[in-house]
Amino acid sequence: MIQELLPQAERIAAVLKARGETISVAESSTAGLISAALLAVGGASAYFMGGAVVYTRASRTELLRVTEAEFAAMTGITPLLLLDEVVAHLDPSRRAALFGELAKLGAQVWMSGADPATFSEIGATGKIFDVDSGRITARG
């Protein structure tokens, strides 16, 4: 599994080094694989600040000092969901079902795809942007 993450970790490391930026990672069900991949790239001390694997509520409380009350108070935080080329693999009825379920989430959802027609069913529930030669423009 870590072999599959290494190409992405190398790209992330290169960007962080070039920008002089750092990263810290909190993981749960990934069990430290993201940290391991980032640390497998040479020169990790230049960009990797540290990480924690907090799989259970008890470990979150003990290791990160996030209490149950603090966790419960984290309401109102809008989740962000990134989906790349998902709709291209769905027929129109399944795309419509996906768009409907995503609208119910109350999350900010960003989807990318090469065929603008696959997003035509979004309608008023979302906005469509075109990206061309590094420029982002709102459609319509």
Residues 76-106: tens digit of each pLDDT: 666 667 777 788 888 888 888 888 888 887 7
Residues 99-135: tens digit of each pLDDT: 888 888 777 788 888 888 888 888 777 788 888 887 8
Share of the chain above pLDDT 90, in %: 15
Dihedral of CA 98/102/103/109: which sign?
Answer: negative
Instruction: Provide the whole-model pTM.
Output: 0.49
Nearest to 31 by CA among 6, 2, 3, 4: 2
Identify the structural domains of the chain with CATH numbers, from first to last: 2-72 (3.90.950.20), 80-138 (no CATH)
- What distance in Å separates the CA atoms of residue 126 and residue 105, rounded to the nearest whole number? 13
pLDDT of amino acid 78: 64
**Residue 7: which H helix or E strand, with range?**
helix 2-19
pLDDT of amino acid 38: 93
pLDDT of amino acid 74: 67
Lowest mean pLDDT among 33-47, 60-74, 114-128: 60-74
pLDDT of amino acid 45: 93
pLDDT of amino acid 77: 63
DSSP string across 37-103: HHHTSTTGGGTEEEEEE--SHHHHHHHH---HHHHHT-TTPPPEEEEES-GGGS-HHHHHHHHHHHH
